[in-house]
Structure 1
Amino acid sequence: MEMTLLHLTTGFLLWMCCATHKASAGAACEDPPLIEFGKIVSGIKSEYEENDRVQYTCDPGYALSGSEWVTCHGKVWMPGPPQCLERPCGSIPSVANAAFEGRSKEKYEPGETVRYQCHEGFQVTGPPEIFCRRGTWSTPPICEDVRCGPPPENPNAHIISTQQQRYLPGAKVHYECESNSQIMGVNYVICSDGHWTKVPNCRGPVQVLQKDANTPARKNG
């Protein structure tokens, strides 16, 4: 009786061992490989059997190169894990009152840069270059209008320069004071950053006080 019980116990342990080994050996493939800038989104299991499939996807800004589905076949994932490659950028964003350097292309590779040049009379605000990253261009600059409008008026002077609607930075407009008045300082204004410098000042003639002939001269002492 004791021998029979021993045999049964030994047999049960051997069966458990073999069953456990068989379950472990039943995994046809190891876990599917991880990929940079992507992840597995479908078919995840604790153990993978023959013909099991998993699906990959890429992070935003990256494009899948290869098959999104791979299959466990003969302990190997077929056709092999895909790659996630950084997306290129499309056409260059337009910037008002500016042109970009170089030739236009339909597609720009990641890392490529484009430089803008503002038109005359406009000044760049922000970095003049943009770069392609993950299929998106960085923020383009703004070309701010730094021209000046009509020059300021001076009630005691008139403008002698040819007048325009808009003036480029550095432009000068000259004034001439009315008769019997004299200009103080420079006789012009300069356009700078969209504004005019201080308008010239015209001062009237100095009045000389005449002594009254009827007023007796003051004696010394």
Structure 2
Amino acid sequence: MDVFLDTCGGRRAAVLLMLYSVVVKAAADCAKPLGGENTVLTNAALLMNTFPEGVEVTLECAKGFVFESGSGKITCNDNNWTEPDLICKKKDCGPPKPQPNMSFNTSAGTLFGAVIAVVCHKGFEVSGSGYKQCYAKGWSGRAVCELVTCGEPAKVTNGTSSWDYQDYPKYGEIIHYVCNKGFTLVGNNSVMCSETGGYDPQPPTCQGVTTESITITNMATTASPAKVSTSTDPPATPRTHRDKTVSTSATPAVSPSVRGGRDISTAEDEATTTSGTSTTSTPLYTDKPGETVDTNKEIGYFPVIISVVCVFLAVCIIALFLHKYLLKRKGSYDTREDLKPELLLFQNL
């Protein structure tokens, strides 16, 4: 009986001792370590299930970060991990590789996670992604700057362009316009493919030549420098200016006969005869070249001149008849002794 009791007590003590050792051992293991902001466990540490006292694991830099300093090892000590000494920093992708006709806006930096814009030179446009981002393996996105092309040039009615219909015009290419015969080009005769893919300036237009414009053009080219009078009023008596007026007698002057068949005329008679006859005048002249005399101003003097001439002619005729009358009263024989010196002067002329 005593032996049975001793056997049962020993078994209980062994079980209790075993349980104690398991609990103490479990309490001495460390929890699974966690990585930092820019560090992670190595693959070997990730495969471990338990981390007993004294065990050592290694940390490494996360993707997008690069090693700067430290060993990266931590140890389980009294149920706690030692402080890691690994320091990692962001990866720097650096400036992107140069591309033809391309530049980059790197104001956001070139470190891991940064996003930059692709900028093409004037006259070029982006084909592909317009942005690049810095990843662990470098810059993402592919872009190419291609030359800007414009659409089909505008067609002009009654005109043609220099576009050959093969390839679309590219940046800087100039298209010329020509109007058909009989039409006039209004606006610029050429347009250029701009950097925006449009044309600058606006295309011209072709307008037909009107009869009015032809008349105005002819008048401008054939206009005479001097004015020509087209008045239908009766021609006024031209005034004498220097030696430009020429008068010709159309009828003989009054020439009474006396004995001997001699004609008696006076200087006044000759002036009267000249004034009373028809005249052929040349165009009037003035002191200033190219200036035309306004004949309408001379018409006002014409009646006055005619009146004076008529009165003068009437006086001369009366004097002539009075002279004949006096000769008849003295008889048919004229000794010419009673003639006054003035009459002898007229007979000798």
TM-score when normalising by structure 1:
0.58
Matched-pair contact (CA < 8 Å) for 1:88–1:133: no
Q: Which residue of 2 aligns with 1:30?
A: 30
Letter in 2 for 1:12: R
**Cα RMSD (Å) of the superposition?**
4.6
* CA–CA separation in structure 2 for the residues paired with 1:147 and 1:130: 25
Could you tell me how far 1:201 is from its partner in structure 2?
Answer: 10
Matched-pair contact (CA < 8 Å) for 1:88–1:134: no
Pair 1:56 & 2:32 matched: no
Tell me the matched-pair count.
Answer: 193
TM-score when normalising by structure 2:
0.41
Q: Which residue of 2 aligns with 1:7?
A: 6
> Aligned to 2:102, which of 94, 98, 104?
98
Matched-pair contact (CA < 8 Å) for 2:147–2:171: no
Q: Which residue of 2 aligns with 1:80?
A: 84
- The change in CA–CA distance for 1:22 and 1:85 in structure 2 (over 3 A counts) is farther
- The change in CA–CA distance for 1:46 and 1:100 in structure 2 (over 3 A counts) is closer
SS in 2 for 1:42: helix
* CA–CA separation in structure 2 for the residues paired with 1:5 and 1:62: 69
- The change in CA–CA distance for 1:49 and 1:102 in structure 2 (over 3 A counts) is closer
> Aligned to 1:139, which of 113, 138, 141?
141
Matched-pair contact (CA < 8 Å) for 2:179–2:185: yes
Could you tell me how far 1:102 is from its partner in structure 2?
Answer: 5.5
- The change in CA–CA distance for 1:95 and 1:158 in structure 2 (over 3 A counts) is closer
Larger Rg over CA atoms: 2
User: Where do residues 90-169 of structure 1 align in structure 2 (5 Å cutoff)?
Assistant: 90-101=94-105, 108-126=110-128, 128-134=130-136, 136-147=138-149, 167-168=171-172
Q: Deviations for 1:13-46, whole angstroms, at most 9, x for unmatched residues?
A: 2222222322332354412312256334225243
User: Where do residues 189-204 of structure 1 align in structure 2 (5 Å cutoff)?
Assistant: 190-191=192-193
Q: Which residue of 1 aligns with 2:267?
A: none
Letter in 2 for 1:14: A
SS in 1 for 2:94: coil
- The change in CA–CA distance for 1:86 and 1:24 in structure 2 (over 3 A counts) is farther
Q: Which residue of 2 aligns with 1:17?
A: 16
Could you tell me how far 1:100 is from its partner in structure 2?
Answer: 2.1
Higher helix share: 2
| More deviation, 65-74/118-127 | 65-74
* CA–CA separation in structure 2 for the residues paired with 1:127 and 1:175: 38
* CA–CA separation in structure 2 for the residues paired with 1:35 and 1:139: 31
> Aligned to 2:72, which of 68, 71, 75?
68
* CA–CA separation in structure 1 for the residues paired with 2:9 and 2:179: 123
* CA–CA separation in structure 2 for the residues paired with 1:139 and 1:89: 13
Could you tell me how far 1:127 is from its partner in structure 2?
Answer: 5.2
Letter in 2 for 1:76: N
Gaps of 5+ in 2: 154-158, 163-168, 207-349
- The change in CA–CA distance for 1:32 and 1:157 in structure 2 (over 3 A counts) is closer
Q: Deviations for 1:150-203, whole angstroms, at most 9, x for unmatched residues?
A: x9xxxx8575xxxxx9643xx65322246467779996555267698xx9999x
* CA–CA separation in structure 1 for the residues paired with 2:71 and 2:103: 41
- The change in CA–CA distance for 1:102 and 1:108 in structure 2 (over 3 A counts) is closer
Matched-pair contact (CA < 8 Å) for 1:93–1:140: no
- The change in CA–CA distance for 1:19 and 1:38 in structure 2 (over 3 A counts) is same
Structure having greater relative contact order (Cα 8 Å, sep ≥ 6): 1
- The change in CA–CA distance for 1:64 and 1:15 in structure 2 (over 3 A counts) is farther
Could you tell me how far 1:145 is from its partner in structure 2?
Answer: 1.2
| More deviation, 59-68/181-190 | 181-190
Q: Deviations for 1:110-153, whole angstroms, at most 9, x for unmatched residues?
A: 343333321111012455443334463231543221156xx9xx
